[in-house]
Structure 1
């Protein structure tokens, strides 16, 4: 489980996270929803330490970090080895083949045997329907295919949790559907996932838990069914605005 306790992140004129306490259960999919600028991505990036809160604690598995104190490089690396982030843009290495993009992390960071890393990468490509792309380069693939490759790259690191920050926002509807099908399959396999998205239909179908964020605060954390049953006037208004 990932647990945040009284986490606070403030910029000069903006309170990005305000006393956030929330849990993300293991082997479940949590979807973070909320209006633009609510703090969704900041919350997600804090888990991976791409954003550093000033207060509060985070427990991730057997590791606890206290944001009130400077984090050592050892602590940062320990957290990041438990998580893998998939961004809006896929950020693949353009000069490496797809296979080498996926195996670079396991070989150089996890110190896996290259043959083992390659076998795992080929299995992941098969899982997302892109086995034939192993020896191609990123520039030869569509955006949707590249995003699926970035998901393979994350999975290859065997993370405790996979974090997705608006993974389909840069894609047209057809390519978005391809990526969402992969995420849905990962959810069925009970991967531990946290997803920031604006796609309400995906959230309704896939999420075990919904976390609703507004003005840097967690205003709701509960089951998908409870959320889409419109438990508050604010959530009802949000869902109506999203044309769900």
Structure 2
């Protein structure tokens, strides 16, 4: 279980996260939406400790972190080994082949035997539709293919939760569709996922839980069906601005 209690993050005079209280169920997909600058990425990055809120509690199974206190490197590593992060940019190692990009962390961080890491990596590349790209370098791939390698690389660490920060925002619609199909399959397999996205059709199709953020506050958390078919006036305006047709 992953849970935040009374979490606050402040940048200067801006309250990026304002008394955030939320539980992210295991084996479910939570989708975070909201207008630009609402705190979506800050929230996601806080879950991986890339951002450090000023206060509040973070519960990850038996581990509880108090953001108002120093967090030990041991606890940071313990949490990050159980979470996988996929960013807007692909962040692949350009000097390594696709296969070696996927095997690098399992071999050096998880201490897997190279043969096991390689076998797992090949299976994951097949899972994301890139079995034939294992020996190529990232520069030879399209943006959508690179993002799918990034997903395979994160999965190779066997994370308990997967975090996706606008994973298709840098892609054109055709390449975006390839990545979204991979994410949909992961959701259907009941992986524990938290996704920040601007794609409302995808959010509607994949989410078990929707979070709507604005100015650092959670204005909605709950059932996707209600979010899309019985929106509040503010959410209706947001969906309309995103060109989403409410049905």
TM-score range, shorter chain: over 0.9
Give structure 1 regions of 4+ aligned residues with deviation exceeding 2 angstroms. Answer: none
| Deviation, structure 1 residue 78 | 1.0
Task: Report the secondary structure of 1:227's partner residue.
Answer: helix
| Alignment-derived partner of residue 53 in structure 2 | 53
TM-score under structure 2 length normalisation: 0.98
Task: Report the secondary structure of 1:111's partner residue.
Answer: coil
Any residues of structure 2 matched to 1:79-158 within 5 Å, and which? 79-158=79-158
TM-score under structure 1 length normalisation: 0.99
Cα RMSD (Å) of the superposition? 0.7
| Alignment-derived partner of residue 194 in structure 1 | 194
Separation (CA, whole Å) in 2 of partners of 1:181 and 1:61: 29
Separation (CA, whole Å) in 2 of partners of 1:201 and 1:17: 26
| Alignment-derived partner of residue 34 in structure 2 | 34
| Alignment-derived partner of residue 24 in structure 1 | 24
1:35-86 C-alpha deviation (Å, 9 max, x unpaired):
0000000000000000000100011122111101010111111111111100
1:3-56 C-alpha deviation (Å, 9 max, x unpaired):
000000111121110100001100011000000000000000000000000100
| Alignment-derived partner of residue 11 in structure 2 | 11
Separation (CA, whole Å) in 1 of partners of 2:111 and 2:210: 36
| Alignment-derived partner of residue 76 in structure 1 | 76
| Deviation, structure 1 residue 236 | 1.0
Separation (CA, whole Å) in 2 of partners of 1:231 and 1:63: 35
Task: Report the secondary structure of 1:31's partner residue.
Answer: strand
| Deviation, structure 1 residue 230 | 3.0
Task: Report the secondary structure of 2:22's partner residue.
Answer: strand
5+ long unaligned stretches in structure 2: none
Separation (CA, whole Å) in 1 of partners of 2:223 and 2:208: 6
Separation (CA, whole Å) in 1 of partners of 2:185 and 2:61: 24
Separation (CA, whole Å) in 2 of partners of 1:90 and 1:35: 23
5+ long unaligned stretches in structure 1: none
1:184-203 C-alpha deviation (Å, 9 max, x unpaired):
00000000000000000000
